[in-house]
Structure 1
Amino acid sequence: MGLTDYRALLIDCDEVLVDRDSGVLAALQPLLDSRGGHPSREQVLAEYNTVVANLYPRFAELGFSGVLCFAHRQLAERWGLHASWEEGMSFARSAGSWALFEDAPGAMLYLRKFYRLRVRGDRDAEDRGVLCERLGIAPEDFISLADDLQWLSEQAEDVQPVLHVTRPSVAAHGVFDRCLIGRQRPRQPSPCAAEYCISSMADLVAQHQLSLRR
């Protein structure tokens, strides 16, 4: 199926539109300074992702800030450090200032001319409105990870076919074609593990423009 055949894009927020990894690393820097040594970016993010994944079953209880706060505390414990709850909450609140990738606003502005856009991610209520404004979408078009299956069952038929724009580490939903955004990869894998493997949102725009010319 060509890019122009889809009616909607379900776009993951973090590491597709928002530079979550850089934001997390910057917010963890005080802990890393206390830890010492020189752990690699990949090692720190792998530990962070493991801790967050283990906490996500408690998302309904903890909320987004709670998950990040507990993740901060557990990372400190792993590294033999003490971290206060105030430091944990400061880390959690940093999510509101995570930067967009440079190509994200322009790509969203272009793509909404051709598709219905839904963004998939988690944020606290006080951060969600600002993020939606930065992305140029309505608040109701931001779908929580906890609610995405409900959206699939209630809305997907109205917007099919849908292309899920995500990062390679995210498991497939099974019902959507996928476009994998590998921002950290100098070259995309061949053969691609999805319908599309590209390097950025800007590349998605370029591929769509090529499809229009065919």
Structure 2
Amino acid sequence: MRLTDYRALLVDCDGVLIDSDSGVWAALQGLLEGSAAVPARASVLALYHEALAALYPRFDELGFTGLLCFAHRKLAEGFNVRVSWEESLSFARSVQGWPLFEDAPGALLYLRKFYRLVVLCDRDAQDREGLCERLGLASEELLAPGAVNAWLDEQQIPQGQALSISVRVPADGLPQGSCLLRRGRKHAPQECPAEVCINSLADLVFQHQLSLRC
């Protein structure tokens, strides 16, 4: 399918619109300063994502803030650093200041002219309004990932006409209707494991404009 054949975009928040890795890395500096040996940034972030994924089955119990608190404590344990609950909560609340990718607001403004668009995000209720303000979203455009199918049914959009934009490939592979965002990494078309591969949201806008001309 061409980009213009899709009717809806399901956009992951973290990694696509929000530079969560940079936000997490900055918020971890206090913990890392107490460690005898600090691995490279990529290794630290990989450990963080691993800890978060292991905790995710408890999302309904802990909420997003709780997940980040416990992930912070898991990292501290791995680096043999003692941290207080206040420090772990401070790390979790840093989510409010995680930076936007520069191309995110403009791309959203352009893309919503052509698609029904929702941003998939697990933020707690206390953070949703602020996130909508930063991204220029209406509250109904911020959706919990588990609510996607119900939203598509409500909008009378078949799943095959919805394109999901994310930055990670699940262990069981990407489902149909996937757009893989690989910021800063050029790729050959034959290397793309998804229906669409992009280097940035600005690249997605450009590809959409090309599709309009075909």
Please report the TM-score for the alignment, with normalisation by the length of structure 2. 0.92
- CA deviation map 1:24-72 (0-9, x unaligned): 0000001111114341111001100110001000000001100000111
Q: How does 1:124-163 map to 2 (within 5 A)?
A: 124-151=124-151, 154-155=153-154, 157-158=156-157, 160=159, 161-163=161-163
Q: How many pairs were matched up? A: 212
Match of 2:61 in 1: 61
Structure 2: segments with no counterpart, 5+ residues: none
Q: Secondary structure at the match of 2:191?
A: coil
Aligned match of 2:195? 195
The answer to whether 1:87 aligns with 2:90 is: no
Confirm or deny: 8 A CA contact 1:8 1:159 kept in the other structure: no
Shift in alpha-carbon separation, 1:70–1:188, aligned structure 2, 3 A:
farther
- Corresponding residue for residue 123 of structure 2: 123
After TM superposition, give the deviation of residue 116 of structure 1 in Å: 0.6
Letter in 2 for 1:120: L
Change (3 A) 1:184 1:85: farther
Consecutive aligned runs of 4 or more in structure 1 exceeding 6 Å deviation = none
Aligned to 1:73: 73
Q: 1:116, 1:53 → 2: CA distance?
A: 29
5+ residue gaps in structure 1?
Answer: none
Q: Percent identity?
A: 57
How big is the alpha-carbon RMSD for the aligned residues of Structure 1 and Structure 2? 1.9
TM-score by length of 1: 0.92
Alpha-carbon displacement from aligned partner over 1:169-192 (angstroms, at most 9, x marks no partner): 346573x41110001524457331
SS at structure 1 position matched to 2:126: helix
Residue 77 of structure 2 aligns to a residue in which SS? helix
Q: Secondary structure at the match of 2:179?
A: strand
The residue identity in structure 1 corresponding to 2:72 is: H
CA distance in 1 between counterparts of 2:142 and 2:170 reads 18
Per-residue CA distance 1:47-102 (angstroms, 9 max, x = gap): 00110001000000001100000111111011111110000100000001111100
2:56 maps to 1:49: no
SS of structure 2 residue aligned to 1:185: coil
Q: 8 Å contact 1:178–1:195 — kept in the other structure?
A: yes
